[in-house]
Amino acid sequence: MFKADQIAKELEDYLQGLEYVRNPEGLYIPVRYALSAGGKRIRPVLLVMAYNLYSDEIRKAFGAAAAMEIFHNFTLLHDDLMDNADVRRGMDTVHKKWNANTAILSGDVMLMLACRYLTDASGKNPKPILDIALDTFIGIMEGQQYDMEFETRDDVTEEDYIEMIRLKTSVLLAACLKIGALLAGAGESDANLLYRFGEKVGLAFQIQDDLLDVYGDPKVFGKKTGGDILCNKKTYLYINAYRRADAAMRKELDRWRVYDGDDPQSKIDAVKEVYDAVHVREQSEKLIESLFGQAASVLAEVNLPDARKTVLEEYVKKLMNRVQ
C-alpha cells in the first residue's frame, strides 16, 4: 500500500506535467495558473487510495484523479467569482488576476477537460464511470444553488443544510472513492460502501470547517475566525443556535444579522456569546464525532482485510485532526 504523502507527491508531479497544447493560449494559461496554486489534493488522493485498495498499479488511476481535481478547481474558479473573492491559496483569484469573463471561460474549459481526461482514463467502456461523475457534477451545482438560495431564506433547517453540504461537498469525495475502486476492479458492493464512507467523511469535514471558522485557532487554522458570522452564512452552527435560542437570543441574532457598522469584532463576539449560551460548539462536535463514527462503520464493511484499509483510515483521521 502506498502512503498518502507519496501519492500526493506523485499526483502533484503528474498534474503539473499536464500539457495544454491547444490554442488560444489565453484560454489555457489561467487553467495552468489555477492548478499551480497547489492545495491538499484531497479528492484525487482519495481516488488513488481507493484504487490502491485493489491494485498496486496506482499510476493507472492518475488520469481519473487529475480529472476530478481539474473539475474541483473549475468549481473554485466559479465560486470565487460568485463570492467576489480576491485571494485563493495565497494567490490572486483568476477573475482578480484577469477578469470575470476569463474566469467563466477558463472554468468552462476545465469542466470539459475533466470530462475528456475521465473518458480517456475509463477504459473501453467509460459510461459507468462517466455516469457517476456527471451525476456528481450536477449534484454539486444543485448544492451551490441551494447555498445561494439559503442566503435569502429564513426557514432553513438543519436537515436542509446537511442536504446542501452533502451535494456541494460530500458527493465529490464519495464519487472519487467509488470511481477509484471501480477502475481497479472492485465489486459494486464495495464501491457503494466506499461512496457512503466518502459522504459521511465529507459531511464531517464541512461541519468541522464551520466549527473552526468560529472556534479555531487562527494561527493553526490559517485564516481569521468569524468570517462566516460576518457574511451572515447560514452554517450548521447558526441554524442550530437559532433553533435552540430563546426569544431574547433570537432577537439578538436578528439584530446582528442586519448590522452594518464598522466594528466587525463586536458582531463576532456577540454571536459567539449566543452560540456559547446554547452550547452549539458541543452540539457540532457531537455531530462530527457521530458522522466520523458512521464513516468508520461503513469502511469496516468493505470486503477487504483490515490491514489493507488502514492507510485510508489513517489518512482520513489525519485530515479530521488537521486543525484543532
223: pLDDT strictly greater than 80:
no
323: pLDDT strictly greater than 70:
no
* Helix axes 171-183 and 127-150, enclosed angle (nearest 10): 170
Could you give the CA distance from residue 52 to residue 3 in angstroms, rounded to a whole number?
10
Q: Which three cell numbers stand for residue 89?
A: 491559496
Percent of all residues in the chain with a pLDDT value above 70, rounded to a whole number: 98
Q: Which amino acid is at 73?
A: N
**Between these two residues, 233 and 217, which has the higher pLDDT value?**
233
Mean pLDDT on 16-36: 94
What's phi and psi for 21, nearest 5 deg? Answer: -95, -5
The pLDDT, as a whole number, for residue 192 is: 99
pTM score, whole prediction: 0.94
- Residue 87 is classified by DSSP as E
Residues 262-281: tens digit of each pLDDT: 999 999 999 999 999 999 99
Residues 107-123: tens digit of each pLDDT: 999 999 999 999 999 98
Helix (H) or strand (E) holding 30: helix 25-35
Percent of all residues in the chain with a pLDDT value above 90, rounded to a whole number: 88
For 170, the domain range is 4-321
For strands 91-92 and 87-88, give the pairing. Answer: antiparallel
**CATH number where 295 lies:** 1.10.600.10
Number of structural domains in the chain: 1
User: If you average pLDDT over every residue of the chain, what do you get?
Assistant: 95
Q: Residue 279's CB: how many other CB atoms inside 10 A?
A: 14
Nearest to 130 by CA among 114, 143, 154, 146: 114
